[in-house]
Structure 1
Amino acid sequence: MKGLHKKFTNEYVEEYVNRPRIELVNYFSKPKLYISTKRKNGKEVATIEKGKRWYVFYYFRNPATGKMGNRPFKIYRKLNSLNSIKERKKVGKMMCDIMYDMLKGGYSPYDEDLKNLTGIKGEDSTKNIMTVRLAFEHGLEHKKGSLKLGSYKGYYNYVTLFLAWCDDMGLDKLDILELEQSHIIDYLNYLRRDPPSGRGLKPTSVANTKRHLGAIMAKLYEDKIVPKNFFPDIKTKKGKPEKNQPFTKAEVKIIRDHCMEHEPVLYDFLRFIFYSFLRNQEIVRIQVKHIDMEKRLVSIPTKADTMSHILMIEPMYQFLLTKKLHKCKKNDLLFTPSGKPGAWNSSEKGRVAYFSKRFLAIKEHFGFDANKTTYSFRHNAAVDLFQSFVASGQSENEAIGNLMNITRHKSEDALRNYLRDIGAVVPEDWSSSYNMNF
């Protein structure tokens, strides 16, 4: 550490620190320490794991163009050889202070006389070009702190697939400033094309790819690494999403009988969908601490970090009684592969995939339509309740009003559209109203 400090404060540095700069405004940004992080227990924490590099960075106005540089100048020195977070933060702060004094004293990273001394490399160094790969990895890493784990994994997958394509096309080592809109269009066209010359993705998947990569490029623009984010200028075809449809009554009976005999854990999961109107990803989040048997409420954590409260109707209550929740730990998940509340070392996405995969095997076994999924049981419940309300003498408006509280739709119009889409609302026979025959 002493050697590092000495290297920065030798006679050459002192010469630059003591040289007055007449104009300081906007010549450079104040040096900052980049602390590499990882996600732990839902929070971003500093890490010194292998491959997680720390550095001091700043921006400097290019004397040739008069413009602030797009890429930061980075100083690594011996920072990543230090074996504790405390040491790295201490030395990093020292490096920031010394670098700031040097900049105020007149130092320019474009001065070749000092560049070899300090080991500083920036946008004018051919040895430190910000390649397409490095830029997107940089954008992903810096965006990580604002994303939940599930969202980050989605971004990671999109970026990984894009960089693999760039590698095949010889673009991964291209200077990020040379990446053009046409390159991205080529990639999106590749995703649309059928195999083997493409991936055969549907328009919705292609649009999602563009949205995620565009968000990374927006971060690079925000960090002044690229002069423009051209993703919003690229038009993608909007695909019509295929909507799930409810099962027939006969199909529901087949599934119920099969699951009761062969898939009891899946049977409980599907019944919970039917009676609670919850989505798969909401159900796999439920922990024992979210269940209040006394008040008969289930409180579901949502994506927005809020809680959605569901009434525990009688079938749900009786089901939960069998789980003996009072003997479980508060953080135990309600649904696990064992059929008992407990720990499950799997991501939310992995837990959803587990139940979806088991149901897919049943669907393929009986040859059910592709647009009928576990989500369809919510539709079956909505159709059944709506028709029951109407059959009991309620008007359509009354039935809609009662159903809104159960399905948690935000408006009557949204619920009406939903019921029409799944075939719950159909007009009566109007043939007697015709005045002519055809």
Structure 2
Amino acid sequence: MSKYFLVLQTVNKTVNDFTSKSANLLTMKRNYSEPKIYTGGVDVTQWNKLTSKQKKEALEKDWFIYYGFRDEKTGKLKRMPHVKAGANRYHTKDERLEYLKVMKKALEAILEKGLNPYEDNTAKIIELNLQPNKNKVEETIVNTNLKIVTEESNELTIQETLDFVFRLKKKTLSGTSFRNFENRINKFASNFDKSSPISSIDRKAVNDYLNDILVKNSARTRNNHRTDLSSFFQTLEDNDIVASNFVKKIKILSSKAEKNKTYTSEQEKEIFEYLEKNDPLLLLYIKFISFNFLRPVEVNRLLVKSINLKEKKLSVKTKTNKLKTKIIPDILLQELPDLSQLNQDNYLFTPNGLGLEWVAEENNRRDSFSKRFKTVIKDHFNLGSEYGLYSFRHTFITKLYRNLRENKSPHETKGILMNITGHVTMDALEKYLRDIDAELPEDYSNLFR
């Protein structure tokens, strides 16, 4: 791909100070961002802690200076071509970094004095006196006229990495998960010039974006964006496109999880009796959650052909997108009508009945029944936000656990329950049971006597 960079030409003129700024500039919006040095995807302040392999990989990459300049049409900062000017002919970290620091200083000076990449700068002869720290850097680098040249580079642009990662993720994520991932990553990427190399995005840029998400939304939303960004950069690291996934080092913030409350026996009875008279379809939907311990989104994924009445089994895609087979208990089987005459490729649950034609995205299908539950049940019984369709899963797992515990030890109970609920590990099940307060202690009043 074709990349562009600025050649900073050498001059032998000298003047003294280039750091002073006019008072006017302090009150105006600056037309450029502070030039920064890209050091091969590693933090050079931690150079001594890097392995020999990491150092070698960093030095094999191009190091350069990058900065943004305000686009005259959009008024937004646009990333400019990279400044290399021979820096990568040096093969040690110290030499290369020292050389780039001199160039960075020169670039800052000429930007301050009015250089404009969108104009002809031949008339702007800028004289500087820049003394490098060591004699090994012999040239004084300055830009008296912008020359734009092309250079071949193997580094992918931001847009190319987006296309690459999305192509892979589409094969491994469910439809809804992929759309959520794609939307979050695209939202982040919209803050950058997508023709810029992926290496122009650093940890600070990601941190700034996440802080903005936190201020405008919540810690939970911010963490969700961080998770997807980490997944994005991890894919790039796994495929040797970036040196490391620096997003992993950004902390996850503590957030208060939204907890679905368990229904009382009285609430459960009232809701079921009300639905039997007013919305039998929604009642059957809830019974799949209650008796088969499915998540609402899993009920929405059921097709007519997912139900095998003869073998008393159903197949469903779980939250990890794996196809899982579960038995249909008799208590639920008795509620199901004959499904043989329905279109086997239609969704089992649709707004107007079982197995009818319904073209809708997964999110919309889930929202349809969530809104229906709110209108029919939550508004009628004046239930708060802590109650939802998911609460029925908590309620019936709790009920099953407590009934099993009457005759079995905690370990035996959890072993049986794990096979029914579909939890993959005992730790996951135990955490779930703690979260829903399934196990309560016996009365301990005698301990105070």
- TM bin, normalised by shorter chain, reads 0.5 to 0.7
Q: Which residue of 2 aligns with 1:161?
A: 187
- Residue 201 (structure 2) pairs with residue 179 (structure 1): yes
- 1:403 maps to 2:413: no
Partner of 2:217 in structure 1? 200
Distance in 1 (CA, whole Å) between partners of 2:296 and 2:179 is: 19
Q: Is the 8 A contact 1:274 1:378 kept in 2?
A: yes
Q: CA deviation at 1:269?
A: 0.6
**3-state DSSP of counterpart to 2:335:** helix
Please give the per-residue CA displacement for 1:279-315, whole angstroms capped at 9, x wherever unaligned.
1222222223222222212222345665422222223
3-state SS of 1:326 partner:
coil
CA–CA distance in structure 2, aligned partners of residues 356 and 431 of structure 1 = 42
**Pairwise CA distance, 1:377:** 0.6
Amino acid at match of 2:151: D
Supply the distance in 1 between the matched residues of 2:431 and 2:185 (Cα, whole angstroms). Answer: 36
In the alignment, residue 186 of structure 1 is paired with which amino acid? D
Instruction: Decide whether aligned partners of structure 1 residues 291 and 144 sit closer, same or farther in structure 2, where only a CA change above 3 A counts.
Output: closer
In the alignment, which residue of structure 2 is the partner of 1:308? 324
Would the alpha carbon gap of residues 408 and 139 (structure 1) be closer, same or farther in structure 2, given more than 3 Å must change? closer
The yes-or-no answer on 1:191 pairing with 2:213 is: yes
Corresponding position of 1:82: none
For 1:185 and 1:258, locate their aligned partners in 2 and report how far apart those are by CA, in whole Å. Answer: 50
Deviation digits for residues 127-169 of structure 1, max 9, x if unmatched?
A: x9976556545543464444443332122110232234x16xx
> Over alpha carbons, which structure has the higher Rg?
2
- Partner of 2:179, secondary structure, is helix
Give the drift of 1:227: 5.0
Q: Does 1:277 align with 2:293?
A: yes
The 1:409–1:214 alpha-carbon spacing in structure 2 relative to 1, beyond 3 Å, is: closer
Residue 325 (structure 1) shift? 1.2
Within 5 Å, give how 1:284-363 maps onto structure 2.
284-302=300-318, 306-320=322-336, 322=337, 324-361=338-375, 362-363=377-378
Give 1:40's aligned residue. none
Question: Which residue of structure 1 aligns with residue 131 of structure 2?
Answer: none
**Cα 1:131/1:397, change in 2 over 3 Å:** closer
- The answer as to whether partners of 2:174 and 2:321 remain within 8 angstroms in 1 is no
- Answer yes or no: is 1:388 the counterpart of 2:403: yes
Q: How does 1:71-90 map to 2 (within 5 A)?
A: none
Quote the offset at 1:187 in angstroms. Answer: 0.8
Distance 1:433 1:371, change over 3 A: same
Query: What amino acid maps onto 1:153 in structure 2?
Result: R
Counterpart amino acid of residue 163 in structure 1 = A
Contact residue 298 and residue 319 of structure 2 kept, 8 A: no
Report the 3-state secondary structure (helix = DSSP H, G, I; strand = E; otherwise coil) of the residue aligned with 1:239.
Answer: coil
* Cα distance in 2 between the residues matched to 1:395 and 1:142: 46
| Aligned partner (choices 127, 138, 151) of residue 124 of structure 1 | 151
How far apart in 2 are the matches of 1:310 and 1:180?
Answer: 46
Counterpart check, 1:65 vs 2:88: yes
Are 2:438 and 1:424 equivalent residues in the alignment? yes
- Secondary structure of the corresponding residue to residue 346 of structure 1: coil
Which letter maps to 1:189? N
TM-score scaled by length of structure 1: 0.60
Q: Deviations over 1:342-390 (max 9, x none)?
A: 3421233332222122223332453323222211111211222333345
CA distance in 1 between partners of 2:208 and 2:369 (Å)? 37
Give SS of 1:65's match. Answer: helix
Deviation string, structure 1 residues 256-284 (Cα, Å, up to 9, x no partner): 24433433322211111111111122222
| Alpha-carbon contact 1:143-1:219 (below 8 Å) kept | no
1:123: how far off? 7.2
Conserved 8 A contact 1:191-1:201:
yes
Q: Tell me, what secondary structure is at the counterpart of 1:360? A: helix
- Distance of 1:207 and 1:425 partners within structure 2: 30
Distance, in Å, in 2 between the alignment partners of 1:226 and 1:403 is 44
- CA root-mean-square deviation: 3.6
Gaps of 5+ in 2: 1-84, 91-148
Residues 245 and 124 of structure 1, relative CA distance in 2, 3 Å threshold: same
Q: Is the 8 A contact 1:130 1:176 kept in 2?
A: yes
Matched residues in 1 for 2:433 and 2:316: separation?
24
Q: Residue 140 of structure 1: SS of its match in structure 2? A: helix
Identity level (%)? 30
Q: Taking CA–CA contacts closer than 8 Å with sequence separation of 6 or more, which of the two structures ends up with the larger relative contact order? A: 2
When normalised by structure 2's length, the TM-score is 0.59
Give distance in 2, aligned partners of 1:346 and 1:65.
54
Instruction: State the distance in 1 between where 2:268 and 2:371 align.
Output: 18
